[in-house]
Chain A
Amino acid sequence: MTSIPLTSPQGAPSDTSSAADGRIGENALRPDGTLKVTGEFAYASDLWMDEMVWGTTVRSPHPHARIVSIDIGPALATPGVYAVLTAEDVPGANAVGLEHEDQPVLAETVVRYKGEPVAIVAADHPEIARQAAKKVVVEYDVLEAVTDARAALDPASVQLRPSGNVVRHLKVRKGEELPTAAVVVSLDFEVGMQDQAFLGPESGLAVPAEDGGVDLYVATQWLHVDQRQVCSALGLPPEKVRLSLSGVGGAFGGREDLSMHVHACLLAMHTNKPVKMVYNREESFYGHVHRHPATMSYEFGAEPDGMLVYGRAEILFDGGAYASSTGAVVGNGGTLGLGPYRFPNVHIDCYGVYTNNPPCGAMRGFGCVQAAFAHEALMDALAERVGVSPAAIRKLNGVREGDVNITGQVIDSAAPCEELVQILLDMPLPAERSGADLLSLPGGVANSTHGEGVVRGVGYALTYKNVGFSEGFDDYSTARVRLQVIGGEAVASVHTAAAEVGQGLITVEQQICRTELGVGRVVVHPKNTQVGSGGSTSASRQTYVTGGAVKAACEAVRARVLAAAAQVCGHTADDLALDGGKVVARSGEVVLDLAELLGDAELFADEGVEETVEWRHRPTEAVDPETGQGNAHVQYAFSAHRAVVDVDVDLGLVKVVALDTAQDVGKAINPDAVLGQIQGGSTQGMGLALMEEIVVKDGHIMNPSFTDYLIPTILDTPPMLIKILEYADPHAPYGVRGVGEPPTISSGPAVAAAIRQATGKALRRVPIRPEHITGT
């Protein structure tokens, strides 16, 4: 047996540090910016150990089949192959999952989607591993596949689970059972399956450890829930399964579930060698969950003036083969699925079902993104029916602070629906099409029109989203903050397990430390499981929750420092603050130098002052299973978009001319980073409206490549006017409101509305394809 080296892999995460200015509210620069522009920043795919071997995955070619037999012999006999493992090699529970542990690490008796992992191979070269994987002989008995979510809901359908095909059915009932209204509008809407399409495919490195455990370096969104699942599958305690966040090439929800985590660990422990796994782009399409496709039926009743009387909706999410976060997606779809409007009477049935389609789970704005297309299309239909503008119908019905929402929860902080819409109305519209620049027309470089058949349209959308985990989840984060003297300077260091996936959390952590501790240099330690959970980097929650934890830890450190300062300077601790590396009195008088104080051996040990704090937002509660009523959410985030499009009605081509937005962020901790979230999030929402869909036919993905799954380029992405509101949420640290998801929710429906306005077509499905516009 080869010995295990004690060295870390090349590319293992290390401290990031910067001494730049930047307190909260300022445009601090990213501490990893230099590394990322020089090519030195190591992503999970860059990890390297000279003695490592390469893992690869054997996947099911069928959406639904019984495994009759697996012959690993020919694969194992391949020169260069170290291990071929199947379900029987999983030492612990062969069942993982975010909400339900319903997904095998490696399929045992049945495969439930095309692409499901069946076996794993380790070899000394990735090409050898891939070739050997093809020699794993799996005999399948193909079973009838359930690939239609509506059919799955039928009790007469094939039942994929002992508990049936329904993952969750959420009922929301409020007010009268059978309300009537003077004006009734209804529609059916369908949303296709979107992919996160992060640019850095799934990857990681598992290193076997001498204690019989394993160290896993991986790109992920939630280290501790990964750890829980890996421990369960390996049958190891948490202290023997240590996870470190490697460089993450984007996430957007697609890394909240496990991918290669357990597989690499199994191979590493079996071969006693470090094992690297990197998916290619095609495998990535099979290797992570997608946004749930949805079919929705909506009906709104209103007074003659457009004031809403009731809302009815049936929302059906296709969860695919495994539950993942389908329960939470149903929770959002049900509790938020009518949009940010006042409804006296509500009747919603929201379902998430198992099928044999690719598993669906978290993606930016989940549950709300799908529903927003339906409720916003219906608000436009209502406006047209009662003869008011799209903006007016939204201003009339938008919720306000103090309102009780459809689940009976009081909206107890700002709900500036009217203002957001008014801001859009007040923004300048783009110039009329001149016709001079052919590149600016739909079709662009294809030169497919000189302006004939091109029609302009304008559309609006107003949406909201819950921030943080809802429905009673114990949603917390942990921060360890230390203040000490390094090189004669007072330096803060911060350690959390909250994943930095590009959004800029590490910058926010530094800004909070600078603000609370009055220092310049802040060291951000690598994210790993050597500190308590930071919770998931999802649900727009990290600036709120991990930000809250860092703030609380800083406050605890500061209290100790100021208490010590009070002992030596004669001021009371209450009269003291930390600023500019000094202890200062409220009067502004500099009382002590912070570095000198911290260096006082009688007051502090060498390692300075350290505090670890576990911080929670205010609790939420589960909703009533029969009525959906309850205080389900901790916070709401509101946004609105106005899209302007030019549509070539002859060819069905769309050019988005402008995509303007207004959003309440509570407090912009880093305004530049907030703008970046809004620009990127708006672009993803536009992508779903226009081009992004994983096309699934009979359970098979038809377009698992960037050639065929299109995401917006700069040429598809218009300039954006962005207005940020900062109405502090009194319940949140610094008043922050989650930022990342709202723009992805309101941008797509605005684009769809603009195309409807331009063409006069109903367009009840996204992405809107050229043939939907031309009718051919």
Chain B
Amino acid sequence: MTEQTTEAVAEELHDVRLTVNGASYDVRVPARRLLSDALRHDIGLTGTHVGCEHGVCGACTILLDGAPTRSCLLLTVSADGREVTTVEGLTERDGSLGPVQQAFKDCHGLQCGFCTPGFLTTITAGLRDNPDPSEAEARDMIGGNLCRCTGYANIVAAVLRAAELGAEAEPA
């Protein structure tokens, strides 16, 4: 199978197995296909947003084997065999909202919402590593993501609220 390019030269394609939110996807992509594009276009998970395509804004942040990663800076082939978690994977199995999602909704942590998926994945990993952050730690946790609407105050509140929800969900 070939894919058309400018010069109509056959471009080598690579078989990649992605595990996204626990489900396996086999995609055949050129080596330069960004993971963000593979998620959005090849797999159809459009919750991962592309805001700048050069790794600054953080809207496309996914978890790669649990680590927050810019999917616009990662080639799909390098995610072969690895576990990817997108915003869609933060929803509980029963369809209810995960603690970070619930906190964002309740704390008015979003306006336009375009940056939100990247914050949600980042904070999910952050709270896993530090389940009970101080406010300063909560601010530090989101230092790598841009939001243009909220001024971040309600996002910080949502981090702290998500930590509470996470603690409540833990067995005593």
User: Which A residues are within 8 Å of any B CB, using their own CB?
Assistant: 11, 27, 29-30, 32-34, 36-43, 45-46, 48, 78-80, 124-125, 127-128, 131-132, 196-201, 247-252, 280-281, 501-504, 672-673, 675-676, 678-684, 705-707, 711, 713-715, 717, 719-720
Contacts and interface: CB of A to CB of B under 8 A. Distances in A.
B133 interface: no
A250 B148 contact: yes
B112 interface: yes
A720 B152 CA distance: 11
A401 to B, nearest CB: 30
B19 interface: no
B78 interface: no
B120 interface: yes
Contact of A672 (B52, B108, B140): B108
Contacts of A199: 49, 51, 57, 59, 112, 114-115, 146-148
Contacts of A681: 151
Interface in B117-161: 117, 120, 139-140, 142-156
Nearest to A722: B153
Contacts of A78: 6
B143 A37 contact: no
B152 A714 contact: yes
Nearest to A504: B111
A679 B150 contact: yes
A680 B56 contact: no
A713 B111 contact: no
Contacts of B91: 38
Given A201-B50, A252-B148, 20 more contacts: A36-B105, A37-B116, A39-B86, A39-B117, A125-B3, A127-B5, A199-B49, A199-B146, A200-B114, A247-B113, A251-B112, A280-B53, A502-B112, A678-B151, A679-B153, A680-B151, A705-B56, A706-B57, A713-B144, A720-B153
A503 B146 CA distance: 17
B54 interface: yes
Contact of A676 (B49, B59, B104, B154): B154
A385 B144 CA distance: 44
Contacts of B145: 713
Given A34-B105, A198-B112, A713 B146 contact: yes
B47 interface: yes
Nearest to B51: A199
Given A39-B86, A713-B143, A683 B152 contact: yes
A250 B48 CA distance: 16
A706 B56 contact: yes
A713 to B, nearest CB: 6
Contact of A42 (B46, B86, B108): B46
A717 B142 CA distance: 12
A37 B86 CA distance: 11
B4 A79 contact: yes
B77 interface: no
Nearest to B158: A37
Contacts of B155: 714
Given A33-B105, A42-B46, A683-B151, A200 B143 contact: no
Contact of A706 (B52, B88, B117, B152): B52
A502 B111 contact: yes
B160 to A, nearest CB: 13
B152 to A, nearest CB: 4
Nearest to B45: A39
B101 interface: yes
A197 B57 CA distance: 11
Contacts of B54: 281, 705-707
A680 B150 contact: yes
A30 B40 CA distance: 25
B23 interface: no
B51 A201 contact: yes
A281 B153 contact: no
B56 to A, nearest CB: 4
B110 interface: yes
A717 B101 CA distance: 23
A247 B113 CA distance: 9
9 A-B pairs with least C-beta separation? A39-B47, A502-B112, A679-B151, A249-B114, A36-B113, A502-B111, A706-B56, A39-B87, A131-B6
A80 B7 CA distance: 11
B12 interface: no
A12 to B, nearest CB: 13
A32 B154 contact: no
Contact of A501 (B8, B45, B47, B112): B112
B106 interface: yes
A247 B116 CA distance: 14
Given A715-B139, A715-B143, A128 B6 contact: yes
Contacts of B116: 36-37
A680 B148 CA distance: 7
A676 B46 contact: no
Nearest to B8: A79
A572 to B, nearest CB: 42
A717 B146 contact: no
Contacts of A11: 46
B167 interface: no
A730 B110 CA distance: 32
Interface in B63-101: 86-88, 90-91, 97, 101
Contacts of B104: 33, 37
Given A29-B106, A680-B148, A38 B101 contact: yes
Contacts of A34: 97, 105
Contacts of A32: 113
B108 to A, nearest CB: 5
A197 B113 contact: no
Contacts of B139: 714-715
Nearest to A713: B143
Contacts of B151: 676, 678-683, 717, 720
A51 to B, nearest CB: 15
Given A281-B53, A676-B111, A132 B152 contact: no
Among A27, A36, A41, A48, find the residue whose CB has the most chain B CB atoms closer than 10 A: A36
Contact of A36 (B53, B88, B110, B144): B110
Contacts of A678: 151
19 contacts: A30-B108, A32-B113, A33-B110, A36-B116, A37-B87, A45-B50, A46-B40, A79-B4, A79-B8, A128-B4, A196-B148, A200-B112, A201-B50, A250-B112, A252-B148, A281-B53, A502-B110, A502-B149, A676-B154
A711 B146 contact: yes
Contacts of A719: 153
B23 to A, nearest CB: 15
B114 A43 contact: yes
A80 B52 CA distance: 26
A248 B112 CA distance: 7
Contacts of B45: 39
A156 to B, nearest CB: 42
B148 A198 contact: yes
Contacts of B88: 38-40
B6 A200 contact: no
A439 to B, nearest CB: 8
A620 to B, nearest CB: 29
B149 A676 contact: yes
B46 A46 contact: yes
A45 B116 CA distance: 15
A260 to B, nearest CB: 16
A706 B146 contact: yes
B4 A38 contact: no
B106 to A, nearest CB: 7
Contacts of A197: 148
Contacts of B50: 45, 201
A438 B8 CA distance: 57
B53 to A, nearest CB: 5
A45 B45 CA distance: 12
Contacts of A43: 46, 49, 114
Contacts of A46: 40, 46
Contacts of B6: 78, 127-128, 131-132
